[in-house]
């Protein structure tokens, strides 16, 4: 075995499925297992065959259907468990039985009610029994991180002598800290005489958010197999995340002393999405490596840096994990560089004065919306490019409306260079606004058409109002946009009035 290779043992289908609400049927397990094989994992722990007839059948089907990785079944240190595991995985091209038994005082006293000598005997007996069925046997001393060191060393030496080719050191309840866990791995290498005959594996839970850190420190100290799950799924707070471990080793190869995995990292995002979809467990947007925001930038400073040179704010290439590209998210923190760059990708190249005005409008809209979409920008630019001199400009409006009151509007405009205010009632809030505007401008006309559409998606979508107003034998069109549809209606009417003033002056 190459001493620099880190074996990736994926337990998404076993420990990951134990996440409350993440249950999978046989067809779904096989679909995920096939994708894990494409991803390039070395071992797939397909389930706990003795736990239910369904789990037995799913492990059996994965064993028959999936080629490439070792297919592993979990078993307690009981002959019936080992028989079930063997029955489920025996049809795999490469099969493994993973036997476990608790070794910490807490578990021995309260869960098993057994003494150390009994535990030692059971562990050795289970490994020998499994070894009689398959050449590839892994043993886990459950709750290893809370097991007394001398006893842990003794158990590991005994199970290796009994035929275990892999010894897994679980931080079962996520209790350990990175330097403590690293010291544990070093202690095993230094105090288990026959440790060179087995691969040291680690399985770290994430109860304190340290699952990945503990796993990586273990790798730096001699562990050569890491047990992990896609998206960090698993019991309680989950397991160490496969994607984070793999990309940490790849990205910081200088720290991990030329260690490597056989994972095809370009398949990470696709695998993550599949697991999320089939388990019904969404990935948080700020999740490392595969979250929606992992390669997204909204801060103007960050956007400017990334647009000039990607490595200023990205330590990984998005395409290396299966994303199409970095995402420049336009929002209230975005700067002029990102705004202009997005317009250019849309084929819009504004002159400086036009860009300044459009950017001003963008910042006003960004204060109202969480994210600005291309459709919003098209509307902003379209309005800016088609602007006419403003004889009438909206300063303020106030609406009173409801099912038991007559709609009323108070409008304040800057008209002909002077601030003027008027109020009116109407058949609805828009009609009331238009009547109040007519009192100020004296430019009443017939509303011939009124259309409204949502420019983008979401509750804070930008609404666009298009109208046609007939006046003095001519028809004037107007358009306005805002997240407030009444404001958009006012802007559209004023746009038509300003066009009228320009033409009829």
Closest CA to 322 of 283, 355, 360: 283
Digit-coded pLDDT (tens) for 441-481: 987 778 988 999 887 667 777 788 888 888 877 778 788 88
Which residue ranges make up each domain of the chain? 7-279, 296-383, 392-504
Digit-coded pLDDT (tens) for 285-316: 899 999 887 877 766 677 767 678 777 878 88
DSSP H helical segments within 346-467, as ranges? 352-366, 374-385, 429-441
pLDDT band at residue 499 using 50, 70 and 90 as cut-offs: confident
Looking at residue 298, its pLDDT comes to: 65
Is 396:493 a contact under the CB 8 Å cutoff? no
Compute the distance between CA of residue 483 and CA of residue 474 in angstroms, rounded to an integer.
Answer: 30
Superfamily of domain 7-279: Aldolase class I (3.20.20.70)
Strand partners, 134: none
Looking at residue 334, its pLDDT comes to: 79
Q: In the CATH scheme, what is the code of domain 392-504?
A: 3.30.160.270
Alpha-carbon distance values, 138 to 69, 202, 227 (Å): 15, 12, 12
Is 137:170 a contact under the CB 8 Å cutoff? no
Digit-coded pLDDT (tens) for 227-247: 999 999 999 999 999 999 999
Closest CA to 137 of 73, 207, 189: 73
Strand partners, 75: 99
Asked if the model's pLDDT at residue 385 lies above 60, the reply is no
Say if strands 199-204 and 225-228 run parallel, antiparallel, or are unpaired: parallel
Digit-coded pLDDT (tens) for 147-161: 999 999 999 999 999
- Quote the tokens at residue 106: 């807490």
Alpha-carbon distance values, 264 to 129, 150, 160, 224, 259 (Å): 36, 40, 32, 18, 15
Outline where DSSP puts E strands in 230-346: 296-297, 327-328
Closest CA to 290 of 276, 306, 307: 276
Is 99:129 a contact under the CB 8 Å cutoff? no
Asked if the model's pLDDT at residue 419 lies above 90, the reply is yes
The model's pTM is: 0.74
- Cα 80 from chain centroid (whole Å): 40
Asked if the model's pLDDT at residue 386 lies above 60, the reply is no
């Amino acid at each position: 075995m190459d001493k620099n290779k880190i074996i990736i043992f994926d337990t998404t289908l076993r420990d990951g499925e134990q996440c409350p609400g993440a249950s999978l049927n046989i067809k779904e397990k096989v679909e995920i297992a096939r994708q894990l094989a494409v991803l390039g994992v070395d071992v797939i722990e397909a389930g706990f065959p003795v736990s239910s007839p369904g789990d037995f059948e799913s492990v059996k089907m994965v064993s028959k259907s999936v080629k490439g990785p070792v297919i592993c079944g979990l078993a307690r240190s009981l002959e019936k468990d080992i028989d079930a595991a063997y029955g489920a995985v025996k049809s795999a091209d490469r099969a493994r039985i993973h036997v476990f038994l608790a070794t910490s005082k807490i578990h021995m006293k309260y869960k098993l009610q057994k003494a150390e000598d009994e535990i030692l005997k059971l562990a050795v007996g289970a490994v020998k029994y499994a070894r009689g069925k398959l050449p590839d046997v892994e043993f886990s001393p459950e709750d290893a991180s809370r097991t007394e060191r001398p006893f842990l060393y003794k158990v590991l030496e005994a199970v290796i002598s009994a035929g275990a080719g892999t010894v897994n050191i679980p931080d079962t309840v996520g209790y350990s800290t990175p330097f403590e866990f690293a010291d544990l791995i070093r202690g095993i290498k230094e105090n288990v005489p026959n440790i060179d005959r087995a691969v040291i594996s680690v399985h770290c839970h994430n109860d304190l958010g340290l699952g990945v850190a503990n796993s990586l420190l273990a790798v730096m100290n001699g562990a050569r197999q890491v047990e992990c799950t896609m998206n960090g799924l698993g019991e309680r707070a989950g397991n160490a995340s496969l994607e984070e471990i793999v990309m940490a080793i790849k990205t910081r190869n200088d720290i991990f002393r030329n260690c490597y995995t056989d994972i095809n990292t370009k398949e990470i995002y696709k695998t993550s999405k599949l697991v999320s979809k089939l388990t019904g467990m969404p990935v948080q947007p700020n999740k490392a490596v595969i979250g929606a925001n992992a390669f997204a930038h909204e801060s103007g400073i960050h956007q400017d840096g990334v647009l000039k040179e990607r490595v200023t704010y990205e330590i990984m290439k998005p395409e290396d994990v299966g994303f199409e590209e970095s995402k420049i998210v336009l929002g209230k923190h975005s700067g002029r560089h990102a705004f202009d760059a997005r317009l250019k990708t849309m084929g819009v190249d504004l002159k400086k004065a036009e860009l300044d005005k459009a950017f001003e409008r963008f910042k006003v809209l960004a204060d109202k919306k969480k994210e600005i979409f291309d459709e919003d920008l098209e509307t902003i630019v379209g309005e800016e490019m088609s602007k006419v001199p403003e004889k009438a400009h909206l300063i303020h409006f106030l609406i009173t409306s409801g099912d038991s009151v007559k709609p009323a509007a108070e409008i304040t405009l800057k008209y002909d260079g002077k601030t003027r205010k008027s109020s009116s009632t109407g058949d609805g809030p828009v009609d009331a606004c238009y009547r109040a505007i007519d009192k100020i401008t004296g430019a009443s006309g017939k509303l011939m058409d009124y259309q409204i559409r949502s420019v983008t998606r979401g509750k804070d979508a930008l609404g666009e109002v298009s109208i046609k107003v007939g006046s003095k034998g001519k028809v004037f069109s107007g358009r306005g946009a805002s997240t407030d549809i009444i404001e958009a209606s006012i802007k559209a009417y004023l746009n038509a009035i300003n066009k009228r003033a320009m033409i009829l002056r």
